[in-house]
Every structure is written in structure tokens, then in C-alpha cells.
Amino acid sequence: MTIQADRTQRQFTPDPERKLGDDEGPSKPDVKKPTAPNELLKRMKRVDPDQAKKYRQRSGQ
């Protein structure tokens, strides 16, 4: 990491616990979803499918 500070930088010690190797970690579990149709699904189907296409905003901070 490059720190663009013009003051004395602290040394990185001691090293943190870290993982080495190629293991990507656990994979996504097989989660059972609530059965459809349900209220959520009904509501989602009522959303204008083009609303994101039409949604434009000014850049903020």
C-alpha cells in the first residue's frame, strides 16, 4: 500500500495472521428459499422493469 503522507510512516510489525495457499474458502451453501408465490414475488412483479434504464442522477460526493 502506498501512503501518500509526508510524515514518518509506522513500520508494519508484527505480521497479522494470514492465510496462504489457493483455497478460496467455503463455497456458497445451498439455501432453501421461501416458496413462491409469495407477497414479495407479487410485489417484485409489479415493478416497472425499465425504471433503472430511465433512472439518471447527477454525480454527488
Residues lying near other proteins in the complex (CB under 8 A) are found at: 1-10, 12-20, 24-29, 31, 33-34, 36-41, 43-53, 55-61
Write down the least CB distance from residue 25 to other proteins, Å.
Answer: 3
Write down the least CB distance from residue 23 to other proteins, Å.
Answer: 9
* C-alpha separations of 36 from 2, 28, 29, 47, 48 in Å: 50, 22, 20, 17, 20
Write down the least CB distance from residue 22 to other proteins, Å.
Answer: 10
Instruction: Examine residue 37 and say whether the peptide bond preceding it is cis (omega within 30 degrees of 0).
Output: yes
